[in-house]
Chain A
Amino acid sequence: MSDTPQQDADTLVFISRQLALHGITLQPEDLLHTARHYSLLLSHAERVMGWPLAEHIEPAPEFRPGDERSGQ
């Protein structure tokens, strides 16, 4: 069972084309599973993309010895 929605034909075509662009060809059943996981990622992306971040915030914190200073 899954809590993700059934995949419609358009979504499957989209996923299939995207995968083909990367050189990946899947069996129909595997494509269905992949589309289901992509839908889950889409829901996570909605949460992430919906959060406004100031322009100055750059990716990837670095963790080097001494970084703990910022927390002390």
Chain B
Amino acid sequence: MKAPLMSGRDEALAIAAAIRQGEVSAVSVTEQALAEIAQHDGRYNSFTTVTASRALQEAAAIDAARKRGETLPPLAGVPYAVKNLFDIAGLSTLAGSKINQRHPPATADAQLVHLMQQAGAVLLGALNMDEYAYGFTTENHHYGASRNPHDPSRSAGGSSGGSAAAVAAGFVPLTLGSDTNGSVRVPSSMCGLFGLKPTYGRLSLQGMFPFVHSFDHAGLFARSAADLSACFEVLDSQPLAPTDPLSNRVARLGGYFEQGDAQAQAAVTAVCDALQASKTVELPEVARARSAAYLITASEGGNRHLERLRTQANEFDPLVMPRLAAGTIVPATWYLQAQRLRRWFFEQAMQLFAHHDILIAPATPCCAQPLGQEEMVIQGQRMPLRPNMGMFTQPISFIGLPVVAVPVHVPGQLPIAVQLIGAPHQESRLLAVAHWLQQQSVCQAPVVRH
């Protein structure tokens, strides 16, 4: 019987099982995945660097371990890739910039890359992003835009756009990204994927190029909730607590979160109906919270890049530099009031979690929009597109709550995602519900290559 041909099109757990059982070798999976990237990624521009040599070495080590009869780790032979703000030993960490090309190569992997390697996963490369993670569209002036596999004329979302496009196109089943204001959840929505932004502080940021200390989170993408859970267990270095997905008190977030277009609202309704969530609750002052997130982002981001703005302003992406420069002159009073409002808003959210386990909201106000588009019209209101793609994600990362983005696909439409929002450290609850929604075919994330 001919050995099955597996690649990044397959799910991570299926690949790991097939390798463990000797049905396929890690090297053949890696070679196939690399060949598909070489053949098709010109269309999507998800990778900025392909680490073929390292990948083949890691895969060969997995095959050798199996031959020796060793017990293989949970993600043995699973191809994956990381947003190019993660340190990869031997490469300069670009963080989407031209400036960082002159940085010396990283001397060690980022902590999360190290954990993935320990779990047997095979690193295929680094992925495109908005410069210094400051954007929601991955329209990168230096490396080109990442294109959406559902429609290459449209954005893959950002700032982890390459991470999302690579999974949606089936180059790899798993990628790592980062989420400061929505940079995992927005591209999950645009590309129709499962995405996890864990609780603030839960996953290590060691070896990741920073953006906004107050909000930076590591995050991950997959085409199945089971893969997302398996990867999170590796990154969190502990198993998820078993939970019953149907025992949660679920409510829909109303008010501010009802500003999405008809498709965004229909997606939320589909998820709420499946979970029999009939109650709508409101978080107070969400628009004000988002404004506070804006100020903190601008101020911390601008100050992060102060020296580069002084000496290399003309080498930034023109979409990014003016926002960082404006952030450097945010008065301390604004910044501190925004941080105090963060504390207040967190306490308001905790009052909701006293009576509910999961809150449901759209991830984005609409589906993926054409690259280069400046504005969008939502419920008759014209607004700038680039900042407002994060209008529903920003207020949630502002207070560090864990979120699983779950994709809703309706035939004939582009995908869109819904946020399952939990209290701090309730990732297992959210992932169990995401898995159940996928089992019920409410949510799915197929490979697409248009």
Chain A positions near chain B (C-beta within 8 angstroms): 1-3, 15, 18-19, 21-27, 30, 33-38, 40-41, 43-45, 47-49, 51, 53, 57-61, 63-68, 70-72
Q: Which residues of B contact A26 (CB under 8 A)?
A: 313, 325
Which residue of B is nearest A60, CB measured?
Answer: B339
> How many angstroms from the CA of A33 to the CA of B56 in the assembled complex?
46
Closest to A49 in B: B337
* B384 closest partner in A (C-beta): A3
Chain A contacts of B321 at CB under 8 A? 30, 33-34
**Total interface residues in chain B, CB < 8 Å:** 54
Which of A41, A53, A63 makes the CB contact (< 8 A) with B330? Answer: A41
Known: A37-B323, A48-B295. A60 touches B354 (CB 8 A): no
CB–CB B353/A71 < 8 A? yes
Are the C-beta atoms of B342 and A48 separated by less than 8 Å? no
Q: Which of B59-67, B90-98, B223-231, B418-426 contacts A (4 or more CB under 8 A)?
A: B418-426
- Stretch of B25-33, B285-293, B407-415 at the chain-chain interface: B285-293
- Complex Cα distance, B294 from A38, in Å, reads 11
Main SS at interface, chain B: helix
Q: Which of B135-143, B150-158, B178-186, B343-351 is near enough to bind chain A?
A: B343-351
Do residues B423 and A61 form an inter-chain contact, with CB atoms below 8 A?
A: no
Chain A residues with CB under 8 Å of B277's CB are none
**Judging by beta carbons under 8 Å apart, are B322 and A59 in contact?**
no
In the complex, what distance in Å separates the CA atom of A58 from the CA atom of B400? Answer: 17
Which residues of B from 342 to 388 have beta carbons under 8 Å from A? 342-344, 346, 350, 353-354, 374-375, 382-384
The contact string, 1 if C-beta is below 8 Å from chain A, for chain B 289-311, is 00110110010000000100110
CB distance A57 to B340 under 8 Å? yes
Of A41, A65, A72, most buried by chain B (CB within 10 Å of CB) is: A41
Name which residue of chain B comes closest to A14, CB basis: B329
The reply to whether the CB of B314 lies closer than 8 angstroms to some CB of chain A is: yes
A-B pairs, 8 with minimum CB distance: A71-B353, A59-B339, A71-B423, A33-B322, A44-B291, A37-B326, A18-B329, A47-B291
Given A30-B313, A65-B202, 12 further pairs, Cβ under 8 A = A2-B384, A22-B328, A23-B306, A24-B313, A30-B318, A30-B322, A33-B322, A34-B321, A44-B294, A53-B340, A61-B400, A72-B354
A48 and B288 in contact (CB under 8 A), knowing A19-B329, A27-B314, A60-B339? yes
- The minimal Cβ–Cβ distance linking A27 to chain B, given in whole angstroms, is 7
> Which residues on the A side are within 8 Å of B382 (C-beta)?
3
CA distance in complex: A3, B423 (Å): 36
Note all chain B residues with C-beta closer than 8 A to A27: 314
- Residues of chain A contacted by B384 (CB below 8 angstroms): 2-3
Judged by a CB distance under 8 angstroms, whether B189 is at the interface is no
Contact across chains for B325 and A44 when beta carbons are under 8 A apart = no
User: How distant is B136 from chain A, measured CB to nearest CB, in Å?
Assistant: 15
A34 touches B325 (CB 8 A): yes
Nearest CB in chain A: distance from B38 CB, A: 38
